[in-house]
Structures are given as structure tokens and as C-alpha cells.
């Protein structure tokens, strides 16, 4: 991909992560996460598509896992401590954008086992 595309995609992914953080600021419990799951899923879906195209396969895979989690929540599946998990996910996603060798595998596996 061109440098210009990577710059635009990087900006968009960072904006989506920032929007996830903003939604999280409005959440104080698991019910708030459930009520906002459509909003979260919109952003994880976009990151899932863009991240691999800019060479961030790990972030793309992780976003796919989160996207699937939010789809299950939207369908009515209940999870305990989901606020904590999504909060940690947001932090990890942000780090993966700023640290080139950041490993999302541990949190990705944690979410897959829910």
C-alpha cells in the first residue's frame, strides 16, 4: 500500500480507537457496555478491515475477535465483567498502534475463551 493510504488508514484507526475510548467514558457497568454494543461494534468492524491493509494483522485479528464478541452481545449473550475486558481491550489496541511489536495475543485469547 502507498504511504498516503497507510497515513490515512492509521489516522482512521486511531480515530476509531479514540471513539471506543469515548464510548467507554460513558459506561460505568456491564449494562452500559451492552446498551452501547452497536456503537462499539461499528468501530471494531472498521478497524477489522483497515488494520490488515496497513500491515497491522495482529490488530485486525484482535478487532475481529472483538467484533464477534459485540455481535454476540447484540444478539443477547451475557458476559460478566465485560466493562473491564473492553476497557483493557481499548488500552491494548491503543498500545498496538504506538508500539510496533506490541503483542495482542494474550488478550485476544482471553476474549476468545469467554
pTM of the model: 0.95
CB 83 within 8 A of CB 29: yes
Please state the rounded mean pLDDT for residues 43-53.
97
pLDDT digits (tens, 9 = 90+) for 49-66: 999 999 999 999 999 999
**3-112 is classed in which CATH architecture?**
Up-down Bundle (1.20)
Domain residue ranges in the chain: 3-112
Question: Which residues, including other chains, have CB under 8 Å from residue 50's CB and lie 6 or more apart?
Answer: 9, 12, 13, 60
Is-contact 114 80, C-beta < 8 A?
no
The answer, yes or no, to whether residue 30 has pLDDT greater than 90, is yes
What does the pLDDT look like over 78-105, one tens digit per residue? 999 999 999 999 999 999 999 989 999 9
Amino acid at each position: 500500500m502507498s504511504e498516503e493510504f497507510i497515513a490515512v488508514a492509521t489516522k482512521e484507526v486511531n480515530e476509531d480507537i479514540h471513539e471506543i475510548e469515548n464510548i467507554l467514558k460513558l459506561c460505568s457497568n456491564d449494562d452500559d457496555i451492552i446498551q452501547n454494543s452497536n456503537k462499539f461494534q461499528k468501530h471494531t468492524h472498521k478497524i477489522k478491515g483497515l488494520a490488515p491493509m496497513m500491515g497491522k494483522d495482529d490488530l485486525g485479528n484482535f478487532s475481529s475477535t472483538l467484533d464477534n464478541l459485540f455481535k454476540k452481545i447484540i444478539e443477547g449473550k451475557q458476559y460478566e465483567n465485560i466493562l473491564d475486558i473492553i476497557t483493557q481491550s481499548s488500552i491494548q489496541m491503543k498500545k498496538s498502534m504506538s508500539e510496533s511489536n506490541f503483542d495482542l495475543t494474550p488478550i485476544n485469547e482471553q476474549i476468545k475463551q469467554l
